[in-house]
Homo-oligomer: A and B are copies of this chain.
Amino acid sequence: MSDSQGSRREARPDGGRAPARPRVTIADVAALAGVSVGTASKALNNRGKLREETRSRVADAARQLGFRPNEMARSLLSGRSFTVGLVTTDHVGRFSLPVLLGAEDALGAGEISVFLCDTRGDAIRERHHLQALASRRVDGIIVAGRRTDPRPPLRQFLDVPVVYAMAPSQSAQDLSVAPDEEQGACEAVRHLIAAGRSRIAHITGPARHHSSQVRAAAFRRTLAEAGLAPAAGKVLYGEWNEPWGRQAVQHVLHADPRCDAVFCGSDQIARGAADSLREVGRTVPGDIALAGFDNWDVMATACRPPLTTVDMALGELGRAAAVRLLEAIDGRARSGVEYLPCRLVIRDST
């Protein structure tokens, strides 16, 4: 049948039992207070001209009945639902979760409820969720990605504001907020240099990842600004995991035995490197200083020694996305990518 409709409700002319839970409505409150519904509404919302005694009588009645206005009825009238959709493409949630929670926090404070939509990177599911959000008349959408690679913009079924968090939109028309990985990487490398290290290597993730490229570029640029060259002569691209960290750090030691610091593209890589270094008898930070990226606490603090690393402040990112979305909903829309600063967290590995 038509695509633009749902046929979910099965009429249940008999099937489902009567809900049997008659919610209390403003009519009940009005009746108890002995006023009309219009008056009750005004009393509860501090509108109109009412005697103070009437207001309190209505308030008492509302409290007594445990009345909560039906948000859907209000929305129907006001044209705003005071809800937003939180769409994540990240099934595992390691990066998008903090963003989502930050956004939820900021929005909840503004009395806005959030719909959680997990697309699992599946376009069909994404479309499905967007249609549902359209039906629910959300006021806006935040799209949180797993990585920082730019993503195709939402093919919109609705004309509500969208803010992209973490993974910016490929379209410059859209508004995106993303971590300033360049600044973060830069700060980490400067920190290593300031600690007196001069032969610094960089081990990072797959070369096809935006994050790898940005961090590596910042690494190279910062070294060059200090008149230094990368240890081992090049950036080592591989995987984001520990085995790669272990493997790559051995390669670095072999290629440049006097290497005195390693900047890793992730905490997992750094942890692998730390383990490997310890096993070949190199001390951290004595012989070799080590810095990671992500401040993933289970990695960074379980690392021996605890890891100096770059924190992308993902919760802040989510909050910022929420603030931007609220502005856009309010008509004050921006566009382009807004980069939020990363924070260097210094621990014992440097």
Complex: A127 Cα to B1 Cα, angstroms = 43
Known: A2-B44, A62-B4, A91-B101. A298 touches B268 (CB 8 A): yes
Complex: A133 Cα to B111 Cα, angstroms = 11
Known: A44-B2, A135-B69. A21 touches B75 (CB 8 A): no
Complex: A81 Cα to B67 Cα, angstroms = 18
CB–CB A79/B19 < 8 A: yes
The answer to the question of A182 belonging to the interface, with a C-beta cut-off of 8 Å to chain B, is no
Residues in chain B near residue A134, CB distance under 8 A = 68
* Residue from the list B67, B73, B114, B137 in contact with A71, Cβ < 8 A: B137
> How many copies are assembled?
2
Complex: A2 Cα to B3 Cα, angstroms = 45
Least CB separation from A75: chain B residue: B72
The answer to the question of A347 belonging to the interface, with a C-beta cut-off of 8 Å to chain B, is no
The answer to the question of A264 belonging to the interface, with a C-beta cut-off of 8 Å to chain B, is no
Of the listed residues A66, A72, A114, A330, the one surrounded by the most CB atoms of chain B closer than 10 A to its CB is A72
Known: A7-B46, A45-B5, A62-B4. A136 touches B71 (CB 8 A): yes
The answer to the question of A155 belonging to the interface, with a C-beta cut-off of 8 Å to chain B, is no
Complex: A8 Cα to B68 Cα, angstroms = 13
Complex: A4 Cα to B26 Cα, angstroms = 12
The answer to the question of A131 belonging to the interface, with a C-beta cut-off of 8 Å to chain B, is yes
The answer to the question of A281 belonging to the interface, with a C-beta cut-off of 8 Å to chain B, is no
The answer to the question of A173 belonging to the interface, with a C-beta cut-off of 8 Å to chain B, is no
Q: CB within 8 Å of B: which of A1-52?
A: 1-9, 11, 16-17, 19, 21, 23, 44-47
Known: A19-B79, A132-B113. A5 touches B72 (CB 8 A): no
Q: CB within 8 Å of B: which of A48-80?
A: 59, 62-63, 66-76, 78-80
* Residue from the list B45, B160, B268 in contact with A7, Cβ < 8 A: B45
Known: A2-B59, A4-B66, A69-B135. A115 touches B118 (CB 8 A): no
CB–CB A116/B114 < 8 A: yes
CB–CB B131/A68 < 8 A: yes
Residues in chain B near residue A4, CB distance under 8 A = 59, 62-63, 66-68
CB–CB B68/A76 < 8 A: no
CB–CB B111/A6 < 8 A: yes
Least CB separation from A110: chain B residue: B8
Residues in chain B near residue A3, CB distance under 8 A = 63
7 cross-chain CB contacts under 8 A: A8-B111, A19-B80, A93-B101, A108-B128, A242-B302, A268-B302, A272-B302
For the complex of A and B, the 4 pairs showing the least CB-CB separation, nearest first, are A2-B59, A116-B116, A72-B72, A71-B135
